[in-house]
Structure 1
Amino acid sequence: MKSKPPPTLETYAKKRDFTRTPEPSGAKPPAKAERAARFVVQMHRATRLHYDFRLEADGVLKSWAIPKGPSFDTHEKRLAMMVEDHPLDYRDFEGIIPEGNYGAGEVIVWDRGTYRLLEGSDVTQAIAKGSLKFEMFGEKLRGAFALVHIGARQRSAAPKGRGGEENAWLLIKERDEFVDPAWRIEDHAQSVASGKTLADIARDPRAPHWESKDKAAPSARTRARNERRAAVAPLPSITSPMLATAVDAPFDDPQWFFELKWDGYRAIAQIERDGSVAIVSRNGNDFTQKFPELAALAEAFEERPVIVDGEICVLDDEGRPSFAALQERLDRFGRSGPKTPVTYVVFDLLYGNGRDLRQEPLEARKAALEGILTGRGPVMLGKHVVGNGTELFALARQRGLEGIVAKKRTSTYHERRSREWMKMKVLARQEFVIGGWTDARGSREHFGALLVGVYDGDGLLYAGSVGTGFDDKKLAAIAAKLRPLERKTSPFKAKPKTDSPAHWTSPALVAEVTFTQWTRDGMLRHPVFVALRSDKDPREITRERPQRTATIA
């Protein structure tokens, strides 16, 4: 009777045709042995180069895909996307996965050895808790490392699906005698098993790979893909995302999905069949060059071309988005952002499988999106809950998040604001146009407060001064952007009265501000600066007036 792979290898087996790839099937049961647990790191050139990091546990290899590979610098937090379990005999695999197979490309055994847990004694339990600390005894990797989960805390020990927040981890070097910030992974490109590089493997006719003298019939999956490509719809031109209507309170309804509101830059991403990527903000700005790490988005999707909707975020160690960190990334590092990588939180599929999906219901679009994610690349799936908006809103408040978004399960996608999508904010928060600043007082430098307003039909209406929420770096950075815009006349419809001398600017910059409420005369109470918003058009900034939830839902 033919052996079956362990249950945790079912996803691995479903993705592969073992008559067409030399990868091990995992059908042979692992031998029990009392020895140190083993690890392997495989350098893998598939759609993009990455490193497959695998730890032996429970008779399989628990696996993570690391785009940039391990580092010996304690300040480097390397994104590690958890993928399906692999069989133990995969640790010796080195060769070529043929075109047409999952993960096609060259593979070498980049490093191998043993490891031991530094906390606890059960890897599966450590994965469930979201934190593994271990010491590695490899030919290249030595010393203590940590794998820390950065997404949602509710998950099982095994990865769920092919991608999403439950799969996002960070690989971090712990402090010990092996720390070496100068160590470069590019200088260590040879296999520890054969001494070969990926290029050597690609040129080696003896490398394990699939060959046949007869042309094999395409698999059902390949036939289906070819049929779709034979009658594909043209890629649509999508110029702006669908926007949510602000409402005043959360609600519960089984006909609605509820998502966390991600605090970042809203962006539409288009990934072509050749893997090229174009990313555009909600007001048409090209983000492709500003976030070069997102060129690896192609790794995240099994099928291309696709067009997806999502949010560009910087996540903290607990998986929470920080818009201030995102803004600092752009101000401080420009394109490179070496120590502040971004994650693209994707929550909608607009084009895929050769079809324009915008007229499909949201529920179908989300299911299709989850079905094509690979778990690789700088991507996290924006999850949702069904029906329970009040509980998710309470969680957002508890975790210090911006709020939640409600989306009708049957909603189709339109490039405008819609009442079928609604947003509920924990704090009053919106964008304002900067029309000037006041002189600094006391020990503060650069400026005292920003003078802000919103547009209505008659012009720019003054809404108040914002004097808190700044540190020295923000004051200097904002002042540098304000001075070139200075002018002699006020841009506001009515010139505001200020406690300190005012300087006026052209209304070209947008600030995001939190506040407690609007006064009866249209002024902000207790405003606090959050960040500048380069992705918003000043001419579109108007006062948000949340509608009563009961009138819509």
Structure 2
Amino acid sequence: MSADKLDAYRSKRDAARTPEPVPEPGSLPTGHDDTFVIQEHHARRLHWDLRLERDGVLASWAIPKGIPMDPKTNHLAVHTEDHPIEYATFEGEIAKGEYGGGLMLIWDRGTYETEKWSDREVMVVMRGSRFSGKYVLFRTDGKSWMIHRMDPPPATGLPPASDLRPMVPVERKRLPRDPAAYGFEFDLGGERVLAATGGGRVRLYDADGTVLPAGDHPELEPLGKAAGGLATVLDGQIVEMDGAPVYMIFDVLRLNSGDLLGRSYQDRRRTLDHLALRGPHWQTTPWFPGDGAAVLKVAREQGFPAVLAKRLDSPYDPGARSPYWLRVPTG
């Protein structure tokens, strides 16, 4: 065993190159062994990191598909190096090329109670702001573990969306004067639709919050199995492309039981890009940070009705006509 539980952690990080906490060797802090954090990690592949405070460090597992909500489904959990206690509050951008390079965001944090802790099995009850539940992590081989939910699942595999209404842009004649503060998208027109996915199902809502009849868009039924089975609430427009309907997705409002409304537009778009939603009748729209003039030029050439300018730091304000989002017609 290492003389210092954080030796492996320090060996993979250069304190001068990463914003992550890299404490100097020494005595470990004394806590109550009751803090947990789940971090959404935009590394080479999107995954979630579960960390449990234990003996002065955070015992850590990387979970590619997120915390399972249904006890019928176990998820892979790869045991990683112990992290410092300070990591429980860390959010930031780890530089590209560094170990774990990418955006790190706190998905949930709270307290937990230990029911069992051994080298092969960890059983805890977690209570966070987004979810609560009793879970067991059990070792299968080497660093590979599985995580299993032990109590009943939430009432539905679909996240709630009936309480949401689309955020609407303000009309403007010109692009914003500070384009570096915005991300730009093509406005392709079409029908504004929110889509709740999860458990292999999809439910569509119009701009008034009304559930669309299941037969209205049968081509979107397979969308329920996209995003690696994660539960999502998506925002987009259904447009006609080459004579067929395509759901053009430009925002993600909820993910894996987490509410993303308070996150910035930039962070939501990066999460959406990691989900890699592309199918025969749906795709993620491109976005272009700071490049408004070029986007407007292409939109005019292609005959698109307008360009959308969305502030990079904008939250999602359901139902609001917000000056954070601007719609600039091409004509």
Q: TM-score with structure 1 length normalisation?
A: 0.30
Which structure carries more strand by proportion?
2
- Report the structure number with the largest CA radius of gyration: 1
Which structure carries more helix by proportion?
1
